[in-house]
């Protein structure tokens, strides 16, 4: 637009309009932008004087489009921002070069401003500003006092009732009240931000350990049992078709029958223990979950088999019994920390008969390569697994490449409590697993793809092993074994 067109738009010529025109032209040149058709350019003005009309005409920034922002600072300053280049410029009219002799001659003063060298009246400097939020269409909210609607961002509250700003002020609310509310909101947002940072924070490997909550929280323990028994997935226990094949393989591989002594560490609802007992073995099942053991006992009784189910933390298990075969299925070994795994292998060592063996499975390096870090937020996922009451779940998956460890961190928030569950999982390559067992006095004698005896494959998601004491053949250890190998 020409200056003459701007004068017609404004209604008259004056020094203020001339000032705005020179400032707007300098800003447009500074950010190398054409006139905005939409919101490509954003202007922030620090006064509401005549010059703002010139700025609107030159830059295309208007209140109606939402790209003209007003800050009531009383300064002759415009800040103009180009969204496409992310460049901003601040223009200040200082007027130091305006001749004093012009006096009150408004026309002469305007003419001089229009022709003066920029440096004599303006300072122009590039600035970095946070990109202004694009204009948004906001909901209109009816005022509880006058009935008229107002933009939701301008609604205030009086004793819990929604009020437009005129009614808010007419009811005696003061700017101080509003500042107090804003300060409270700012503090609330700061606390919320810090809480979200904490929720999404990456802990050091095994810094926190909460596995017991899965079995001590009554609701979660019931859900865990439900998962163990669900034939639609094998997230907790293997499907029955696999379990049957696995038990048949173990019977064939180790000659299981009457007199074979077996310990099932982390037996859960007894899906393996009862089937091994049905083969004639003497079976002990150890688990931390009372609910799972109750189900296991009832299941064994209904099948007419006898299993010695023991409620205990298997890391602290102690008995005079010695076992020909110790099993730990479903990659439970991987859920333990390095110190816990060493403790468990010492428990195995104390309870193995001479020439007894350990069978367990672990997650592989191939499976670790498939894991991806992620952050998700959801409302009551997996049919309310974590709580009976309404809740929200924040789930973070972290990978620790050096340790070959993954963490699923669950932060659960209800209306009355918040708790965090850390689900660690160690992944193994053959050499790493061999070294860990060797450090704890064991030797791995056989490698498989799973505990059903399928041939070992590098790309398989699991590794199954048969291990024995490193000194099994030197006459040391427990009683005579009854498991041929």
List pLDDT tens digits, range 421-471. 999 999 999 999 999 999 999 999 999 999 999 999 999 999 999 999 998
- Note the residue count of the chain: 485
Rounded-to-integer distance, Cα 136 and Cα 188, Å: 24
Per-residue pLDDT tens digits for 202-212? 999 999 988 88
Average pLDDT over residues 20-41: 90
Considering the entire predicted model, what is its pTM?
0.62
Output the pLDDT for position 383.
85
Question: What fold, for 213-367+426-469?
Answer: Rossmann fold (3.40.50)
pLDDT at 238: 67
- Classify domain 3-127 by CATH architecture: 2-Layer Sandwich (3.30)
pLDDT score of 477 more than 50:
no
Mean pLDDT of 349-370: 97
Rounded Cα–Cα distance for residues 38 and 252 (Å): 77
What average pLDDT does the chain have?
Answer: 90
Domain ranges (residues) in the chain: 3-127, 140-197, 213-367+426-469
Indicate if the pLDDT at residue 169 is higher than 90: no
Please report the pLDDT score of residue 230 as a whole number: 76
Report residue 476's pLDDT band, with 50, 70 and 90 as the boundaries.
very low
More confident residue, 238 or 141: 141
The CATH code that applies to domain 140-197 is 2.10.110
Higher pLDDT: 279 or 161? It is: 279
pLDDT average, residue stretch 28-52:
90
Lowest mean pLDDT among 124-128, 222-226, 295-299: 222-226
**CA distances, 151 to each of 143, 163, 371 (Å):** 10, 11, 46
């Amino acid at each position: 637009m020409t200056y003459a067109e701007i004068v017609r738009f404004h209604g008259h010529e004056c020094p203020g309009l001339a000032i705005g025109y020179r400032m707007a032209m300098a800003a447009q040149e500074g950010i190398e932008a054409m006139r905005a058709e939409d919101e490509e350019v954003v202007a922030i003005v620090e006064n509401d004087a005549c010059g703002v009309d010139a700025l609107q005409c030159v830059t295309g920034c208007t209140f109606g489009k939402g790209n003209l922002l007003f800050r009531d600072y009383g300064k002759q300053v415009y800040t103009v921002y180009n969204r496409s280049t992310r460049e901003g410029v601040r223009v200040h009219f200082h007027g130091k070069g305006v001749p004093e002799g012009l006096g009150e001659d408004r026309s002469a003063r305007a003419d001089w401003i229009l022709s003066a060298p920029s440096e004599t009246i303006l300072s122009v400097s590039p600035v970095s500003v946070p990109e202004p939020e694009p204009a948004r269409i906001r909901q209109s909210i009816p005022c509880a006092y006058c009935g008229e609607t107002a933009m939701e961002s301008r609604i205030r509250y009086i004793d819990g009732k929604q009020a437009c700003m005129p009614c808010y002020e007419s009811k005696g609310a003061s700017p101080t009240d509003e500042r107090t509310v804003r300060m409270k909101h700012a503090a609330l947002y700061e606390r919320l931000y810090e809480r979200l940072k904490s929720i999404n924070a990456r802990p050091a490997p095994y810094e926190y350990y909460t596995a017991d909550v899965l079995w001590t929280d009554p609701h979660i323990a019931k859900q865990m049992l439900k998962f163990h028994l669900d034939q639609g997935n094998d997230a907790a226990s293997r499907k029955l078709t696999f379990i049957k094949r696995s038990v048949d393989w173990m019977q064939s591989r180790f000659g299981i029958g009457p007199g074979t002594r077996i310990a099932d560490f982390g037996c859960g609802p007894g899906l393996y223990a009862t089937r091994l007992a049905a083969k004639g073995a003497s079976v002990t099942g150890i688990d931390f979950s009372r609910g799972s053991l109750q189900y296991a006992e009832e299941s064994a009784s209904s099948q007419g088999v006898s299993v010695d189910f023991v409620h205990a933390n298997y890391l602290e298990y102690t008995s005079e019994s010695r076992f020909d075969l110790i099993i730990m299925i479903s990659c439970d070994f991987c859920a333990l920390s390095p110190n816990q795994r060493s403790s468990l292998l010492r428990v195995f060592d104390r309870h193995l008969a001479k020439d007894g063996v350990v069978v367990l499975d672990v997650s592989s390096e191939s499976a670790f390569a498939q894991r991806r870090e992620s952050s998700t937020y959801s409302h009551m996922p997996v049919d309310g697994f974590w709580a009976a009451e309404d809740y929200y779940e924040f789930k973070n998956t972290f990978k620790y490449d050096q340790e070959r460890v993954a963490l699923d961190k669950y932060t659960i928030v209800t209306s009355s409590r918040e708790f965090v569950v850390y689900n660690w999982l160690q992944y193994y390559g053959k050499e790493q697993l061999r070294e860990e067992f060797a450090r704890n006095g064991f030797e791995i004698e056989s490698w498989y793809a799973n505990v059903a005896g399928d041939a070992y494959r590098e790309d398989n998601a699991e590794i199954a092993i048969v291990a024995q004491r490193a000194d099994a053949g030197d006459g040391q250890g427990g009683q005579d074994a009854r498991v041929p190998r």
